[in-house]
Amino acid sequence: MGMRLPAPLPLQFSWPLTERAARIDRWRSDAGTIGGRWSFDLLSGEMVWERGVYELFGFPVDARITRRSAADCYVGESRAAMEQLRAHAIAHCRGFTLDVEIAPADGAPHHRMRLSAAPICSTKRVIRLEGVKHLLPPRCSAWG
């Protein structure tokens, strides 16, 4: 039996890679939007973030970010859901979108973020994940 996604996290989608253009490639930062594009190389462990993603996670722009340091910012059930969808994306070469709660590394208040990710495959093997992370506007939720 598979792991159940915890409520009230709003799972948006697990989607086929044919939807990548609509879900990731067309994303543009509006004035005042906190967030940006990111990538993670599964072979080397290299993580690349745009400036807005550093701001979102509360890391200095010149910080060397590891997967663990980024994952440690995901709060409780948000981390479990992200890890489950990440594993599913890698195993099945599918994208995903998930709204999560993060605790910025600089101690700023927790906030909600939308994470969209898609695997990049080479000879039917996932070599990289890339996507968009951006701040969601405040709203009433079970977190707060």
Please give the pLDDT value at position 75.
Answer: 96
Please give the pLDDT value at position 78.
Answer: 93
Please give the pLDDT value at position 17.
Answer: 86
Q: Consecutive sets of 10 residues in the chain, 144 residues long: mean pLDDT of each?
A: 46 76 77 86 96 96 95 95 92 91 97 94 91 83 42
Whole-angstrom Cα distance, residue 117 to residue 129? 6
Please give the pLDDT value at position 58.
Answer: 98
Please give the pLDDT value at position 11.
Answer: 46
> What 3-state class would DSSP assign to 56?
helix
Q: Which amino acid makes up residue 98?
A: L
Length of the chain: 144
Please give the pLDDT value at position 13.
Answer: 72
CATH class of this structure's domain 11-25+34-135 = alpha beta
